[in-house]
Each structure stands twice: as C-alpha cells, then as structure tokens.
Amino acid sequence: MKRFVGFVVFVLLAVLPVPAVAKTTPYVADRQTKIDVMGEWAHPDDDTGFIGPCGVWHQLYGVKCGVIMVTRGEGGGNAAGTELGPDLGLRRENEDRVAHYRSGTVDIFNLDRVDFFYNQSAPLTQYFWDEQETLRRVTRVIRETQPEIYIGFTPTLAAGHGNHQQAGRLIWEGVLAAADPNMFPEQLKGPHALSTWQVKKVFSGGSTAGTGGTTTSANCTTGFTPTGADTVAGVWTGYNSPYTWPAGNAQGQAAGTPKIWQQVSDEGRAAYPTQSRVMYKGTSAPACPRFGMTESFVPFQPNSNAAAGRDDAILFGATRPDPGGLPLGTLEYLTFSRFYNVAGEPFQATLHLRGNLAQGNVALTVPAGWTTDGPKPVKAGSAADVTFTVTPAANAPVDQNAKISALYTTAHASGYTDNVVRIVAAAEGRFQRWGNWREYDEWLQNTAPQANRLGRSQAIQSMGIGQTIDVPVVVHNWSAKQQTGAVSLDLPANFTVDAASKPYDLQPGADATVTFKLTNTDTTLPAQQNVPIPIRTATGSETLTLTLVPTTVIPRAAPVVDGKAEPGEYPGATLDLGRIWQGASTCTGADDCGVSATGEGSTAKVSWSDDALYFFIHVRDDYQSYAVTPAECVGHWQADSVEILLDPRGTASQDLKDTANTFKLGIFPFTQSGGPCWERDADNHQGYSSGSLDTGNAPGVQVASTAQWVGSNETTVPHAYAGGGYDLEVKIPLADLPSAVDPSRLGLNITPYDNDDTSAAGTTTLRHIDMSTRLGWSALGSVQSDPYRWGLATLPGYTPPAGRPTTPAPPDVSNPNLNGALSPQTIAQSARNGVPISGRVPTDDLKILSSALRGDAVQLVTSSKGSGTARAFLTRGELGAIPVWTTSCTSDPPPDYGFTPCAVTDGATPPWSPDMSGHLVKQATRQVTRGVQTWTIPLTAAQRQQLRDRGHLLVSYETSRNEVQAFDIRIG
C-alpha cells in the first residue's frame, strides 16, 4: 500500500478556461484548439464520409479536422444493448470517436441537443433543439476553433430527416453568425472574449455530379468536369495509412503491410453497432470522395484548371496558399444585386477583395451571349469593391443557375472566384407553398440568401382519391415590364378542373394568386400515388407533385377484442396493406411481401364504437423474427411489428409539427414472454405503453394477437408462422390521441414491418436489428414521418366529447439527451482543447487547490466563487476510442485494435454498461458552495489497481448559471 501511494502522482493537465485576463489583442486559437476543416452533422454515423478524407489531409498536409455533432443519437434504437436515452448517448458518442480516431479527428464537439425521433421537419427540429441556443453554441465553437473550411449536410429539404435539414442550416447560419459582431456579442467581451471569425469555404449541399477523374491514382479529380455550377474538390483514399494489417487477418492481407485510407474509412464507417452496423470484414478499393463548394470567400482553382485536380485543392486559399499566388489570408468573393434575374435585363455584380492588395485589374467571365462592362482597375491597398453591370442574353434559358467568374490579376499573381445567379421566367407561376416548403423558402429569403443557389422548395401537395382541393398558384412579375397572360394546368388522366386557364395582369415586382378547383375522379388508389401536374404561365412552368392517398369510411360497430373478426364487427371496407414503401429487396417471394399467390395479402378493417377505434389486422408473413424482451419493446421497426398511425385533425403537416401532433402505436405481435407488447414512437408522447415499463401514454389500449412465439431466437429451429401469418385486434381509445378527432378528416395509416433472418454472417442467433420490409395502406417512402401522405378517413355519426381540446398538447419525447458534463470523453476533450463543454458559456469559478490519494480515497480541495455541481470520473486506459468490436487478432495494436477480424466469428460487441467497457472506474457528484471545500472519493483496492493503467481524474463543473468548466488530472 505504501509503495502504491508513493507511486501515484496527480498532475493538473488542463483547466477550462484560463484565468481571467483583460484582452487587448484579437483572440487567436492555439494549435491545441484550432480546427482547419470542421464538419457538422446531426447524429453520430452521419459523418462517416469524413473519415478517409480527413485521414489523408491530416497525414499528408498536417490538416486537423473536427466535428460538431448536434446530438448523440439518444432517440434512436439500440441494436447492440439495452441502453436508451442518456446511457445510449454515452455509447454512441464513443462509437463516433472510435470511427474517426485514426484519421486524427479527435475533437468532436457535442452540442447536447435532444435526438427526439425521425422526422422530415426543420421547424419541428427547431422546436425541440431551442433554435437560438443551438446557434449560440455553434457560433461559440466556430469562434473558438476558427475553422477555415466547413463541410456537412445540405440545408434543403432534400436532406430528408428534419434533424439533417436543420444541421445543414446551422452551417449557413453559423458561418454568418460567427462573422457578425451583432450576433451573440456577449461572446466577444469579458475575460473569455473571443473574436468574430470568417470561415473561408463552405461545402453544404453542393453537387458533385460530373464526368472524368479517377479512383485509381493520386490527384483523383484531375480531368473531372462538373455537370453543375459548383466547383468540386476531391481527395484520393488510396494512399497508404500508418495502420497495418495484423497477422492472421481474415482478409488474407500480408501482415505488416499498410492499410489504405479507404480501408480505414470503411472500417470506421461500420463502427456503430448500436445502429445495426456490423464489423467490416472486406477489403477496400481506393475511392475519390468529392465535395461540392457552395460558398467561398477566398480565391480558388476552377475545375478547368489542372491544379483543381490535386488532392489538396480543397485547402487552397484557406489553409494553403492558392496556386494563383495571392497571399494566404486574401479574401475574394462575388455578390450580386439580385439572385433571381430575367433574360435581357441588367443587374450588378461586385467583386470584393480584402488583404494586401497589389495594383491590378479585374475581368468578369459570363455565359455565352451575356454582356458586361470591364475589365476594371484595382488600386493597391487593403480593400477594394469593384462593381460591374451584367446583362443576360435575351434567350438565356430559364430555371437554371448561371455561373459568373471573376479574375483579379496583378503583375505577379492572380485570384479566381465565381458565384451563380438564376434566370427565371418574367412571369413565374409557382404553386403556393405551405407547411415545411413555405417555411424553407422563407428561410432562404430572410436568413441565408446565398443558399438560393441550391434551389427553392419543390411544389408538393396531397389529396384523397375522389376528392376536390384548391390549387392556388402565385404569379410573380420578376421583370421591369408589365406582364399579362394566363395560368393553366396540364391535367393527367382522372382529373378535372373548374377552368382551363385563369388570367393575370401584373406590374413589375407584383404578385397575384389564382386558384383552381382540382377534382380527382379515381375510385381506387392507383399503383403510382405521385402524379405530376405541370403549372404553366405565358413565360414559364413548374411541376406540382400531387400525392394521391387512399380514403375510407369507418363505420360504427361494437367489436370485442379477442383476436377474431366476428360477423358484424367490421362492416367497413377492407384496407389493402400489401404495398411496399421501403425494403423491397429484403422480402422474398409473394408470401413474404404482404401478398400471396392466391391474392390473400396483408389487410385491415376499422370500426368505431363509443369513443374508441377498433382495428382487425391480418399480416401475411412466412418467417417469425427476433422476439423482444419487455425492455426491448421500443424501436418496433427492428422486429416483426405493425404500426397504427393517427392524425386526429388531419393537419399535423400543415401545422409544422408533423408526427409530434399525432398518435402512433407500434405493436409487437409476440415477445419472449409470450403475448404482444406495444409502444408509442415518434409521436406526441412516445415511450413504453405496455407491461411493467408502461409510461401511461396509451391508457385503455387493448391488443389481442394470434401470433405464438416459436420459443427460440436461434435460426436452427423453424421460424414459420402457423397459418402463414398472424392477426391483431386492437382497441385505441380516442382520448389517447393528442387532440379531438375531426370526424370529417382523420389521418390514418397502418404499416406492417417484416423482419426475416437477421442473424449476423456465420452465426445462428437472430438480432433486434433493422432489416425490415415496410408495407402500408398508403405506401410512400418515409411515409411514417409524413402525415400528409397518410390515408384519410371519415367517422359518420361520431362527435368528440365536449371540452376535448382541438389543439394538441406540447409533445413529450420521453428520453432526455445526455448532458456533456456527464460524459468523461467530452470532459477530457474540453480540458485538453479549452472549448467549453457543449459550446456553453465558460467559467473559471472553480479552482482545484490540491489533489492526493490518501489511503483508500482520492481527496480534492477546491475553491469556488459561487455554487454549482461538480462531477468526478476516475478512468483508466485509452479513453479517446474504446473498442466497439471483439477480435481474435493478437497483434492489432492501438489505436488500430479491434477493427480487423482474424476469424469469421469476430465482430461481437464488448459489454458497455455500466463502466464504459471497463474504462470508468468510479464516479461521484458533489454540490459545491462558495469558498473552500474538501471532497473525498472512496476507492477499493481493486479500483486503485485499475488506476495504474493510465488513470485520470476528470472533473466537470456546472454553475447555477449553467456555465461550465472541465479539468483533467492525470494519475501517473
């Protein structure tokens, strides 16, 4: 004992932040804090395309990458364990760090925003993320780390997941805010004052389509020609990495030979077992990941120049001097008086130059047939703004972006930049946007106009078959002349309209709205639910995508929930559930795809009685999936299940809340305990709804199931359903819905999920993992998140009880997000690089006056200026990347260990909870008050022994004002 105590020495590595010092010079990030290339994404595993490029940039060019991760993915499923909520967030954070660790990307800035459920709404994401606070944190991280290049999701609706859309928007908003002294000015003053910061290049939503280039050699974008207007930069991942193949590897590679960076990337891409990923056991070929640039404030090389093909071209003007010769730090960019322009009408283009400018001139290059004045001179100095008049050709094609480039030339150097404008019809008729589409276009106009280059929202609407809707068209005059004409619709079969055309007469800049009454005459749902309807004016057109959804009348009856449809219980129409909307490749044959050779497929019937809906659902299925335990009765898509989706007012999408205003019940037809279980997911109050874990969010729900578990999750026993499928009978009290039902417009869908053999290669045990074929009554991609795509039902004779609210209650996401002050990995990073936990406000209130191991305890003496919560974590071993796979390889040293299989059975997941795979030795919490305090953390002999392996004491501190601090004390 005495010798061990003498061996242990505590050393203070880092304290966040530095003591308060009055700042007289602008803040400059030191190398420990500075990030060269920052990526930003919504969830761990969104960022895997960043691994290989960052590895190459780091190894060859000394570039340091970092990642802003808005959430830790706590709201997703867990295919590898039982952790949910904050516990899952801790595990998923480690998976992301493991994936990136070998590329040198060790700084992952988690913002601690809630990961609530899959959706396709940026406004809903803003609601849950506290939009301004999230932007404040993003801005602090940018100002503190001062990245030169920013990469991530597109902000457009094409990003799909609403969290992805909002993460993309935060790139554009963060770049603007970080450079604007009026945004979050409190970050720019006081003892921890930062400075504004201008990111130099942005890659968010740019197109990488094109021809040429290679994947077989270095400088892989040489000869590449983009098909769009975005400049494209690429990097070859065929370079040898520092990581080598271990002896005995299953891929048969020679021991000790280097892995190429694409191999490292693909191994990292798979390092997310909780998200249904499996260990990568293949051999990778070189690739050429490419990035489309959407904004640049520095000179760069166009793809027409040979230098643009180099693997470091993305860095030009930002972290490396541009080959044109302008000094690093020179700013050069183009802006326009208008983005939307009309053929033949002039507008202004201005080149902005900042830096040590030599005398020279500027010339613009415009599309063929366009004209401009110039070239124009530039005087020597520190700033110049040179404005040109540009006139598009009279026949310039409409609804296309047009590139304009500028070349600044001096006696010894030159600098190139470009930007785009869009040519639109003089009289442009657009379907009147609503919901998420309208909100996105407003964001473009009011917040990030440069993102207009990515395109405005699509024209989207839905209607029930056989119904009539209004189709409003907004006509805008973009020209300087009066515009007259008419709007018309090109009608497909089975549609009629109240008028063939409707006139408009507009002065310059004016709008007018014309509205058509559109009627669908279908009597059955067509095979293709999406129907294109072109909208035409005298000078332009756009196409409305109209989604046809099924309709039904729900009759009144009085079923008994016993798993049988007795005569008279369900007199209404039979709903066809045999349409596939996702995963068609994972079902085999008619009997496994919701239908059968004899025509009997998956179906449903619905009735109402008193104040409840009743469902009788027949599912055709040939293979019984994994049977869940009660604790796994969430994430219904990871096993055979059926989800019932109800939008009580039929307006959830219009109200910008999507499924947060709905009721969604996921039902598992069998469990390991025998009977069914059910849960609510991605709706107004998600969480467990049955059994001992019931959260009380679906009282009165009844489920009867004919499915009987085969008794084993081993594929060595037969897994066929008796009778070729199963029946469910379900009662849902309408009082469980988030608001009163509108009996003339109830949104309704029923979606069976079919999982077959989910055992990993070489094993015989089924897994709780998403490998599902998804079917439905209204079957369109991502229909689970889009209430406007659900079917529509009426309930003749039903009246909601008096007093039941028609406005849904605020949504309850059930699982909270992880607080970064509870993550040892986050604390260690914050203490090392000085960026406050979660991008929150820093403090220096707490001082650690001394620390020592005394007998069987660690003793800390602290001094605080105020009150708060201190949390201590004693850790051992390499904390930055804790292995996510098991392997039988014996010569796979860190930090490469755990990624290579040496046997087909390798790739299991090590236990994680409760000690982070053995890396968390002890944790404790202390409420701190003003003044000096002593804190004792008891240890067992075994814990003291564990700390011999690179032991650390990590301390996080949160003040009562929500400020944060981090310490890392090494035990050596």
Strand ranges, E, within 119-174: 149-152
DSSP string computed for 160-211: -SHHHHHHHHHHHHHHHHHH-TTSSGGGGSSTT--------EEEES----EE
Residue 857: φ, ψ to 5°: -155, 155
441: enclosing H helix or E strand: helix 435-446
Token output for 198: 């201008």
- Residues written for the chain: 972
pLDDT one-digit tens code per residue, 80-139: 888 989 999 999 999 999 999 999 999 999 999 999 999 999 999 999 999 999 999 999
- Distances from the Cα of 270 to the Cα of 100, 274, 278, 408, 745, angstroms: 11, 10, 6, 46, 44
Residue 258: φ, ψ to 5°: -70, 145
Give the pLDDT score at 10.
36
pLDDT one-digit tens code per residue, 790-804: 999 999 999 999 999
Residue 587 banded pLDDT, cuts 50, 70, 90: confident
Closest among 273, 239, 278 to 55, alpha carbons compared: 239
pLDDT one-digit tens code per residue, 265-290: 999 999 999 998 999 999 999 999 99
Closest among 834, 839, 833, 831 to 138, alpha carbons compared: 839
Closest among 81, 135, 70 to 108, alpha carbons compared: 70
Residue type, 26: P
The Cα 664–Cα 527 span in angstroms is 25
Closest among 101, 243, 246, 94 to 888, alpha carbons compared: 246
pLDDT one-digit tens code per residue, 629-657: 998 998 899 999 999 999 999 999 999 99
The Cα 831–Cα 825 span in angstroms is 10
Does 17 sit behind a cis peptide bond, omega within 30 degrees of 0 on the bond before it?
yes
Residue 906 banded pLDDT, cuts 50, 70, 90: very high
User: Mean pLDDT for the chain?
Assistant: 94
CB burial class (10 A; 0-12, 13-18, 19+) of residue 182?
A: exposed
- DSSP class of residue 832 equals H
The Cα 195–Cα 23 span in angstroms is 11
> Which of 10-24, 203-217, 395-409 is the least confident region?
10-24
pLDDT one-digit tens code per residue, 319-357: 999 999 999 999 999 999 999 999 999 999 999 999 999
Residue type, 144: E
Does residue 43 contact residue 88 with C-beta atoms inside 8 Å? no
The Cα 837–Cα 871 span in angstroms is 13
Q: How many CB atoms lie within 10 A of CB 411?
A: 7
pTM of the model: 0.93
Residue 449 banded pLDDT, cuts 50, 70, 90: very high
Q: HSE-up of 797 (CA within 13 Å, CB side)?
A: 10
- Distances from the Cα of 955 to the Cα of 19, 521, 820, 905, angstroms: 17, 68, 12, 39
The Cα 298–Cα 640 span in angstroms is 53
- DSSP class of residue 601 equals -
Residue 770 banded pLDDT, cuts 50, 70, 90: confident
**Helix, coil or strand: residue 53:** helix
Distant-in-sequence contacts of 566-571, Cβ < 8 A, 24+ apart: 569/607, 569/614, 569/616, 570/605, 570/606, 570/607, 570/614, 570/616, 571/607
Closest among 388, 386, 385, 384 to 366, alpha carbons compared: 388
Closest among 24, 462, 59, 55 to 261, alpha carbons compared: 55
Q: Which residues pair with 954 in a beta bridge?
A: 873, 968
Residue 891 banded pLDDT, cuts 50, 70, 90: confident
3-state SS record for 622-666 = CCCCCCECHHHCCCHHHCCEEEEEEECCCCCCCCCCHHHHCEEEE
pLDDT one-digit tens code per residue, 527-558: 999 999 999 999 999 999 999 999 999 999 99
Residue 435: φ, ψ to 5°: 60, -140
Closest among 529, 457, 524 to 492, alpha carbons compared: 529
Please check the confidence at residue 938 and state whether its pLDDT lies above 80: yes
The Cα 831–Cα 829 span in angstroms is 5
